[in-house]
Each structure stands twice: as structure tokens, then as C-alpha cells.
Amino acid sequence: MVSWGPNRLDAFIIGTDGTLHQRWWDGSQWNGFLNLGGSWLFEPVTISRKPNTLDVFLVGTNHSVYVKSWDGSTGGWSDFKNLGGVVVAPPAVTSRQSEYVDVFVIGLDHAM
């Protein structure tokens, strides 16, 4: 669950079909579920770097890290982008500035 602005909550889950789903609160009601697709191993990790933006990080069935982004100003979701790697757990993600995201993962050797 993440919030990108007042009266806004976005919840992301992996459905029983293995795909990413989004549901959102708009200040007065819950909307969705929107199927965003893909095939994922672990629950998503989501951040908002600034108002009207969301970044969802996932681990694919190939154990690579992927990101899907939403920019409210252009009104849509990006395609899934493969960031690479071979990981064994969900990533940890943080943003230190609106245009910077740090992604930490555990690899096959169990090192960060």
C-alpha cells in the first residue's frame, strides 16, 4: 500500500493467477481491481517518489527485478521494464530524491 497524495491510497497484490492487481481509494470509495499483468514470484514493493507517481517493483518468474511506473500527469502505466539480476527475495526500495530510486536485492549467493 502506498499514498501519492491526499485522500489517495493504492494497494497492490499478486492475484491467484500470478498477475499484478491494483485497487485504489480516491477519497470517497475503493475502485478497481485493475489487472496490470505479468507473472510474479513475490508480493510487489511500491513507492511514490513525488505526488502523482508510483513505482512498483516485482520479481519475475525468471528471478529478475522489474519495475512498472505510473505518472499521473501523462495518465498511464509504463510497460514492465526488466532491471536484471537474479534474486531470491523481494527487493527493498527507497527514494532519496524525486528522481532517484535505490533498489537493494539478495542474490543467489545470499549477498546484498
| Domain ranges across the chain | 2-104
pLDDT tens track for 38-69 = 999 999 999 999 999 999 999 999 999 999 99
Are 69 and 62 a contacting pair, CB within 8 Å? no
pLDDT tens track for 62-98 = 999 999 999 887 668 999 999 999 999 999 999 988 8
Question: What pLDDT does residue 74 have?
Answer: 67
Question: What pLDDT does residue 98 have?
Answer: 87
Question: What pLDDT does residue 80 have?
Answer: 97
Cα Rg of the chain, angstroms: 14
Are 1 and 8 a contacting pair, CB within 8 Å? no
